[in-house]
Amino acid sequence: MNDIQMQLLIDLHKSNLRQGPGGEAETKKMLKLADIDKSKPLKIADIGCGTGNSSILLAKELNAQITAVDFLPEFLEVLQSQAKAHKEHKVAEKITTLNCSMDSLPFATEEFDLIFSEGAIYNMGFEAGVADWKRFLKPGGKLIVSEITWLTAKRPQELQAHWDAEYPEIDVASAKIKILEQHGYCLEAYFYLPVHCWKDNYYLPMQKGFDAFLERNGQSTQAKEIVEGEKAEIALYEKYSDYYSYGVYIARKL
Ligand code: SAM
């Protein structure tokens, strides 16, 4: 991807609430399944936080200091201004942003009670991520991570070919759970994101912004290509949503 394409992607995504599938009810469900103590002071890292919709929810729900990490400063700026807009629950005071790549995090050993990462670990790969991040968790600390996952043992060839090219690490939940176990985690819960997390919470706001995005960017060829790429991704999901989603893995470090 060249610089212009990256700037266009940032422009398309930064004004949306989410940069990937998810939802408030589902994030609350994750916290419940992880049995997070809401009264205890916690240290949390949200890795690949985007513009921080979930970081802000974590700040509202928990008695926590949250380090929100992303390698795009443009997303972190939006996060900071949105955190300030939430005067209640001292959200801005609870969140520190960190502009850093997820594969070279500067954290101390056993610093965190919870590592949270939604729709982002694929950027370094699921196995590399869970293996690397484990040292930052306290013993007994929790990992909540979402990862693109096959929902069925078999799937159509067109879909298989697409994901083999995009992210060959995609697999069924049982294979992802095995990786967690091999790296010293104990799985506590698993569920996958329902369709509305993709269509209503992620794709629809993006689709509504396509025309304004093209106008802002002078109807350039590269902007049109970005929109066509997103439309193709949406069409693929609409056709094959029975076969894949984000699996949510909730695990405890042993
Ligand atoms: N967690 C957010 C959400 O669910 O709305 C964002 C998910 S978005 C699909 C993936 C995020 O990972 C983006 O914000 C992107 O900037 C970030 N990202 C990609 N590669 C990264 C890296 N190497 N280090 C840190 N963040 C990265």
Give the range of the structural domain holding residue 168, as residue numbers without chain letter. 20-195+243-253
Confidence of residue 250 (pLDDT cuts 50, 70, 90): very high
CB 123 within 8 A of CB 19: no
Proportion of the chain above pLDDT 90, given as a percent: 97
pLDDT per position as a tens digit, 135-153? 999 999 999 999 999 999 9
pLDDT at 87: 85
Q: How many domains is the chain partitioned into structurally?
A: 1
Q: How far is CA 44 from CA 24, 34, 97, 213, 232, in A?
A: 18, 13, 12, 34, 35
Which sign does the torsion angle of CA 85, 91, 93, 95 carry?
Answer: negative
Which of 71, 147, 237 has most ligand 1 atoms within 8 Å of its beta carbon, as the pocket-test mutant? 71
Compute φ and ψ for 147, nearest 5 degrees: -145, 140
24, 49, 147: which to mutate for ligand 1, most atoms within 8 A of CB?
A: 49
CATH number reported for the structural domain that contains residue 86 in this entry:
3.40.50.150
> Looking at the predicted structure, is the pLDDT value of residue 88 above 90?
no
Convert the pLDDT of each residue in 172-210 to its tens digit: 999 999 999 999 999 999 999 999 999 999 999 999 999
Answer yes or no: is the C-beta of 99 below 6 A from any ligand 1 atom: no
Interface TM-score (ipTM) > 0.90: yes
Ligand 1 centre distance from Cα of residue 101 (Å): 9
Whose alpha carbon is nearest atom 9 of ligand 1? 20
Is residue 103 situated within a structural domain? yes
CB-count burial class (<10 Å; 0-12, 13-18, 19+) for 169? middle
The residue contributing the CA closest to ligand 1 atom 19 is 123
Per-residue pLDDT band for 214 (boundaries 50, 70, 90) equals very high
Let me know if residue 230 belongs to a domain. no
36 within some domain? yes
Q: Is the pLDDT of residue 89 over 90?
A: no
Residue 218 falls inside a structural domain: no
pLDDT at 1 over 90: no
